[in-house]
């Protein structure tokens, strides 16, 4: 009987785990749960005799992949797969997948929630500003919406009433609010730099629900120092968090734990998609969402 391990340091909502269990057991497989584990060695031990793994931001590093003697597939229930050692997977013939789009609504809602929180001065009783009429790269609140996306067809973006700009530089020049929805890879790491950020209009707010690695933190701190109107809200604490806490009170907000995909709906969508992808892989050889070579 095939074994599917769900290894989640930050567990899915119970309703999502129930749904995953149903998919797995209906296929005649066994579900093994490893939640809120405290050491990476717990993950390494748990993977030893399983055929498939479902993870969230958990690190499927080389040690994990090599410890999985029967391992054939690792599915990241979510968008970003920078936590999987793809080369180790490929070397061992393990298929790595993600579940694109399944938690994007939850992330978009958090981005807008953090914008409101910041625009209203973190609900501190003082006068804030409104989002209406401001520019942003996501749609909502009667804002003027701009986007730059090198992968999505211009017409597909425009049909949602979003204006497409030709370059990333133009986007930063135009928008008071920028919400980042980019992966962390060799091209994007540290790409959000002083040149881009300093070109944003007065009252600029950068919203990061992506990865801390895409920000050039040295440049970000330089800008925080030079532009008192600039604010940064993020779902991922930067490495330089202590400097923010010491010097920029009220001009930043960091969620205590990554919250973007933490809704029951997103857990159900991504978790069950992962389980279905594993069953489709074993039963039909389906590798539609494979991300390694």
Contact residues for ligand 3PG, defined by CB under 6 A: 10, 56-57, 78-80, 103, 258, 260-262
Alpha-carbon span 21 to 5, nearest angstrom: 10
Complex with ligand 3PG: residue 89 or 107, whichever CB lies closer: 107
Alpha-carbon span 197 to 169, nearest angstrom: 9
- Give least dist CB 55 to ligand 3PG, A: 8
Complex with ligand 3PG: residue 4 or 261, whichever CB lies closer: 261
Complex with ligand 3PG: residue 161 or 256, whichever CB lies closer: 256
Complex with ligand 3PG: residue 10 or 72, whichever CB lies closer: 10
The DSSP secondary-structure symbol of 122 reads G
Complex with ligand 3PG: residue 81 or 230, whichever CB lies closer: 81
Identify the CA nearest to 227 among candidates 203, 244, 208, 247: 203
Sheet order of strands, 231-234 included:
177-180, 205-208, 231-234, 252-254
- Residue nearest ligand 3PG, CB atom distance: 78
Contact 176, 136 (CB under 8 A): yes
Alpha-carbon span 175 to 173, nearest angstrom: 6
DSSP-derived pairing of the beta strands 144-147 and 135-136: parallel
- Give least dist CB 277 to ligand 3PG, A: 14
The CA-atom distances, in angstroms, between 175 and each of 33, 114, 151, 160 are 44, 16, 20, 18
- Give least dist CB 56 to ligand 3PG, A: 3
Contact 135, 174 (CB under 8 A): yes
């Amino acid at each position: 009987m095939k074994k599917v391990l769900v290894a989640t340091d930050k567990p899915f909502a119970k309703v999502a785990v129930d749904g995953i269990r149903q998919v797995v057991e209906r296929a005649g497989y066994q579900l093994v749960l490893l939640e809120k584990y405290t050491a990476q060695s717990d993950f390494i031990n748990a993977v030893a005799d399983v055929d498939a793994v479902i993870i969230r931001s958990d690190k499927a590093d080389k040690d994990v992949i090599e410890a999985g003697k029967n391992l054939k597939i690792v599915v990241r229930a979510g968008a970003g797969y920078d936590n999987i050692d793809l080369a180790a997977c490929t070397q061992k013939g393990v298929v790595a997948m993600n579940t694109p789009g399944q938690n994007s609504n939850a992330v978009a809602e958090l981005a807008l929630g953090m914008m409101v929180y910041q625009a209203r001065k973190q609900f501190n009783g003082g006068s804030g500003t409104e989002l209406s009429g401001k520019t942003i790269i996501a749609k909502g609140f009667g804002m003027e919406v701009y986007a730059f996306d090198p992968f999505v067809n211009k017409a597909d973006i425009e049909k949602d009433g979003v204006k497409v700009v030709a370059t990333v530089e133009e986007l930063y020049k135009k928008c008071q609010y920028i919400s980042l929805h980019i992966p962390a890879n060799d091209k994007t790491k540290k790409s959000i730099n002083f040149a881009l950020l300093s070109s944003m209009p007065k009252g600029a707010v950068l919203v990061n629900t992506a990865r801390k690695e895409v920000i050039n933190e040295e440049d970000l701190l330089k800008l925080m120092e030079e532009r008192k109107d600039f604010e940064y809200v993020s779902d991922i604490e930067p490495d330089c968090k202590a400097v923010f806490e010491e010097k920029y009170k009220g001009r930043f907000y960091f969620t205590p734990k990554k919250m973007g995909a933490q809704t029951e709906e997103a857990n159900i969508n991504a978790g069950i998609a992962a389980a279905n992808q594993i069953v489709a892989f074993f039963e039909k050889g389906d590798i539609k969402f494979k991300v390694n070579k």
